[in-house]
Amino acid sequence: MSTFQRHATRRPWPFPSLAREFQREMNHALRGGEPAYHGPRGVYPPVNLHERDDGYVLTAEVPGVRPEDIDVSIEGATVTLSGQRKVEYAAGDGVSVHRRERQSGTFRRAFELPAEIDLDRARATHKNGVLTLALPKSEAVQPRQIEVETR
Amino acid sequence: MTTPDTTEIEAREKAEVLTEDTRPGLVFKPDVDILEHPDAYVILADLPGANEESVDIHLEKGVLTLDAQVSETTRAERPRYAEYREGGYHREFRISEDIDAAGVSASMRDGVLELRLPKSAESRPRRIEVAAA
């Protein structure tokens, strides 16, 4: 279980244009467009989004990021992932690095989903270097079945 | 040694391994760090989605082969947007002769494989089991 912070108060957050782009792509998909592989957008971590009737599932590949180093916050329809990826080597003399491809550093990314999220039922799990957010839509925006009355 | 980690990470595309392969599915070349300690080499590999059971490590004739099968996540949900693809991993490393094949150990944590290759004069084919961290 990853750390899950709830922000009741509104915090100003300068959204990168990515958030809007993400939403535009998603709105396209929601209108019936084919979901496609877009590739990473330069902003870490890369994410995939799935939709169910009652919510969204957002997954992010974060190998080597400790669960305690990831912060997930949700506010309305906005999900923010932030944290740190530490690449630490055992200290000691005579250690030389032959190859270094794995990146370290900080990350922060915000997404605006098409619907508000039910904070109380949102869940974050972290397994095998993959973060999974189960994000149920808030009741108010969920489709509801309406009984047809016969007279 | 602690590397500075205040820089912002840039998301990179997973490099696809293009091999003659009859198995279905995508295979990626994992990012690795290779370190040399006085007594051992250490290889760290990013294998998001893989666990200790899905990783296969083989050392033969001076070549260490790393394979990981990651079965695509079957979801009832409808895919809407994708920035990364799921698939297996494959990478080969040419290992110097001074590795003690019997002493090679591997562990996994948070999708990162750590391989420890102790130095010695031995060089013989061997299969290595991956232990959970």
> Most A CBs within 10 Å: which of B7, B9, B12, as the mutation test of the A interface?
B9
**Helix residue ranges, H only, chain A:** 17-30
- Spatial distance between the Cα atoms of A149 and A69, rounded to a whole number of angstroms: 53
> By C-alpha distance, which of B83, B9, B45, B111 is closest to A63?
B111
DSSP characters for A90-120? ---TT-EEEEE----EEEEEEEE-SS-B-GG
> By C-alpha distance, which of A11, A30, A14, A7 is closest to A113?
A30
- Spatial distance between the Cα atoms of B45 and A63, rounded to a whole number of angstroms: 9
By C-alpha distance, the chain A residue nearest B113 is A64
* pLDDT of A1 higher than 50: no
In this complex, which of B7, B36, B84 lies closest to A46 when CB atoms are compared?
Answer: B84
Does the reported pTM lie above 0.90?
no
Per-residue pLDDT tens for A110-136? 888 888 889 899 999 999 999 999 999
Report the share of chain B in percent with pLDDT over 70: 83
- Which class is B25-72+85-132 in CATH? mainly beta
Per-residue pLDDT tens for B48-72? 999 999 999 998 888 999 999 887 6
Which residue segments constitute the domains of chain A, with CATH numbers given? 3-8+15-87+103-139 (2.60.40.790)
- pLDDT for residue B76: 63
Q: Do B3 and A96 lie within an 8 Å CB cutoff?
A: no
Torsion angles phi and psi, residue A59, rounded to 5: -120, 150
Q: How far is B30 from chain A (nearest CA, A)?
A: 9
Judged on CB neighbours under 10 Å (0-12, 13-18, 19+), B107 is middle
Q: For this complex, say whether ipTM is above 0.90.
A: no
Positions of chain B with pLDDT under 50: 1-3, 123-125
What is the layout of strands, in order, in the sheet containing B40-46? A96-100, B32-36, B40-46, B112-118, B105-109, B131-132
Distances (CA, A) of B56 to B2, B63, B115, B129: 29, 14, 12, 7
Q: How far is A70 from chain B (nearest CA, A)?
A: 12
Query: Which residues does A90 contact at the CB level (< 8 Å), separation at least 6?
Result: B1, B37, B42
Per-residue pLDDT tens for A61-100? 999 999 999 999 998 888 999 999 988 776 666 788 889 9
Tell me the pLDDT of chain A averaged across its residues: 78
Q: How far is A149 from chain B (nearest CA, A)?
A: 32
Query: Which residues does A17 contact at the CB level (< 8 Å), separation at least 6?
Result: none
Q: Where are the domains of chain B?
A: 25-72+85-132
